[in-house]
């Protein structure tokens, strides 16, 4: 089916001298905006803010900074998680919104049953002029679900708000202490432990052709179980690994450390390709994904697991919002480590105003 559609594009590449571009080619030509540093988002009374009650300090900062600046006339969509962990920052988010007298609607996101949350948020947000999505406390899968649902339907302007953390555990010293021997087997988990299941929601699925080889695109992380379980479950013929490169020079060591963390799994895999992209600048990841799509979607079934940074998950969401023949899967963690092992503090808030109309035009 995919090959037939691609052949159609090749046969009808010119009408009246005007080239016909495939959706991925259109997407690659969009003028993607840079991230802008902000103190708080300028949210108006006809706008809404989506937040999520995660573990991390940065999960509450967008709402806190916005209310501190005196902007309180907007509507708030607050996502809470199941299973319910006491460490989640839901009580703090509620306290901030109640003190500012903000009209708040709550949504429950069950990690074990994630299907449909994007559509639920889309129905809520379609009444507002602008939608601000604070991804700082969101899971990677929820980021993708939200973007795909909101971009695919008639929503207004969409802006991404992202809080960059001050500290990203583990520290270099902690990692070196736990990984003195690369061949000694798995080291203690830093972020999560075990995999509940490889989640694949209907709204992010694609059609599988009989005998079509699977090409997995994944982002290695310190949670080494994610990559191991993805390979065991999917049995891909090929794999492309996008290794994240932090923007802060003091964190550059993490790229090679994550390679070491996943060394045993990576060494066992044939037919793999290693790439690198910024963990902050979503455009680098998006263009890597588009390059893979242009080269391989005609021959392979592309399956993407957004296991990298949150801004890399934004790139995956933008990618999948237009290219519906791509399958999204996610290795859902079974348990989480104590909050002290997650990111700490807030270094900087960023905003990206998505070119929503240009993105929608790519799918036409």
Residue pLDDT, tens place only, 154-170:
778 999 999 999 999 88
pLDDT band at 270 (very low <50, low <70, confident <90, very high): confident
The four Cα atoms 284, 286, 291, 297 give a dihedral, to 10 degrees, of: 160
Q: Let me know whether 230 and 162 are in one domain.
A: no
Q: What is the rounded distance in angstroms from the CA atom of residue 143 to the CA atom of residue 148?
A: 9
Average pLDDT over residues 294-300: 96
Q: Let me know whether 202 and 160 are in one domain.
A: no
Residue pLDDT, tens place only, 96-136:
999 999 999 999 999 889 999 999 999 999 999 999 999 99
Strands (E), the chain: 14-15, 18-19, 36-38, 48-52, 75-82, 103-110, 130-134, 157-164, 192-199, 214-218, 238-245, 272-278, 301-305, 327-328, 330-336, 348-353
CA 293 to chain centre: 18
* pLDDT, position 353: 97
* pLDDT, position 60: 97
Cα 51 to Cα 94, 105, 361: the distances in Å are: 11, 11, 28
Give the total residue count for the chain: 364
Residue 220 has pLDDT above 50, yes or no: yes
Tokens of 296: 């391989």
* pLDDT, position 363: 82
Q: Which CATH number characterizes residue 297's domain?
A: 3.40.50
- Contact predicate 63/96, CB 8 Å: yes
Q: Let me know whether 118 and 202 are in one domain.
A: no
Q: Let me know whether 118 and 93 are in one domain.
A: yes
The rounded mean pLDDT for the chain is: 89
If one counts the domains in the chain, the total is 2
Looking at the domain assignment, is residue 333 inside a domain?
Answer: yes
Percentage with pLDDT > 70 across the chain: 88
Q: Let me know whether 222 and 323 are in one domain.
A: yes
Higher local confidence (pLDDT), 20 or 18: 20
Stated as kind and residue range, the H or E segment containing 7 is helix 2-11
pLDDT band at 197 (very low <50, low <70, confident <90, very high): confident
Q: Let me know whether 50 and 138 are in one domain.
A: yes
Q: Let me know whether 147 and 129 are in one domain.
A: yes
Residue 1 has pLDDT above 70, yes or no: no
Average pLDDT over residues 248-255: 95
Question: Which long-range CB contacts under 8 A does 290-297 form with residues at least 24 apart?
Answer: 290/24, 290/27, 290/28, 290/319, 292/215, 292/217, 292/240, 293/24, 293/319, 293/323, 293/326, 294/24, 294/25, 294/28, 296/215, 296/238, 297/2, 297/6, 297/24, 297/323, 297/325, 297/326
Q: Which CATH number characterizes residue 144's domain?
A: 3.40.50.11700
| pTM (two decimals) | 0.92
Q: Let me know whether 46 and 126 are in one domain.
A: yes
DSSP state of 357: H
Least confident of 63-77, 101-115, 204-218, 325-339: 325-339
- Rounded to 5 degrees, φ, ψ at 137 are -110, 5
* pLDDT, position 18: 53
Q: Which domain holds residue 152?
A: 36-167+344-358
Residue 192 has pLDDT above 60, yes or no: no
Q: Let me know whether 159 and 213 are in one domain.
A: no
Tokens of 343: 């990111």
Looking at the domain assignment, is residue 316 inside a domain?
Answer: yes
DSSP state of 213: P
Least confident of 84-93, 115-124, 353-362: 84-93
* pLDDT, position 337: 58
- Contact predicate 77/121, CB 8 Å: yes
- Rounded to 5 degrees, φ, ψ at 281 are -80, 100
Residue 202 has pLDDT above 60, yes or no: yes
């Amino acid at each position: 089916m995919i090959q037939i559609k691609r052949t159609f594009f090749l046969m009808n590449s010119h009408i009246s001298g005007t080239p016909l571009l495939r959706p991925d080619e259109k997407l690659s030509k969009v003028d993607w905006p840079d991230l802008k540093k902000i103190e708080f988002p300028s949210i108006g009374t006809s706008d809404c803010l989506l937040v999520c009650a995660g573990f991390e300090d940065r999960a509450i900062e967008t709402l806190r900074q916005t209310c501190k600046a005196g902007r309180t006339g907007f509507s708030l969509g607050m996502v809470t998680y199941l299973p319910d962990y006491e460490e989640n920052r839901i009580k703090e988010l509620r306290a901030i919104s109640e003190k500012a007298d903000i009209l708040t609607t709550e949504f429950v996101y069950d990690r074990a049953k994630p299907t449909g949350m994007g559509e639920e948020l889309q129905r809520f947000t379609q009444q507002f002029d602008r939608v601000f999505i604070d991804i700082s406390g969101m899971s990677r899968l929820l980021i993708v679900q939200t973007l795909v649902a909101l971009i695919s339907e008639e929503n207004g302007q969409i802006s991404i708000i992202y809080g960059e953390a001050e500290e990203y555990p583990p520290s270099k010293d902690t990692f070196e202490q736990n990984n003195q021997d690369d061949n000694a087997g798995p080291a203690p988990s830093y972020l999560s432990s075990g995999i509940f299941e490889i989640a694949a929601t209907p709204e992010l699925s694609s059609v599988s052709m009989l005998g079509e080889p699977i090409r997995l695109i994944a982002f290695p992380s310190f949670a080494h179980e994610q990559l191991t379980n993805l390979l065991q479950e999917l049995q891909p013929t090929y794999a492309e690994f996008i290794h994240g490169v932090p923007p802060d020079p003091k964190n550059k060591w993490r790229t090679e450390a994550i390679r070491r963390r996943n060394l045993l799994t990576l060494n066992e895999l044939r037919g793999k390709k290693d790439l690198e992209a910024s963990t902050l600048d979503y455009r680098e990841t998006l263009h890597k994904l588009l390059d893979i799509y242009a080269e391989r979607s005609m021959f392979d079934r592309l399956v993407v697991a957004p296991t990298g940074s949150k801004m890399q998950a934004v790139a995956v969401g933008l990618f999948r919002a237009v290219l519906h023949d791509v399958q999204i899967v996610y290795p859902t963690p079974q348990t989480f480590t104590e909050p002290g092992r997650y990111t700490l503090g807030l270094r900087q808030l960023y905003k990206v105003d998505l070119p929503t109309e240009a993105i929608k035009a790519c799918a036409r």
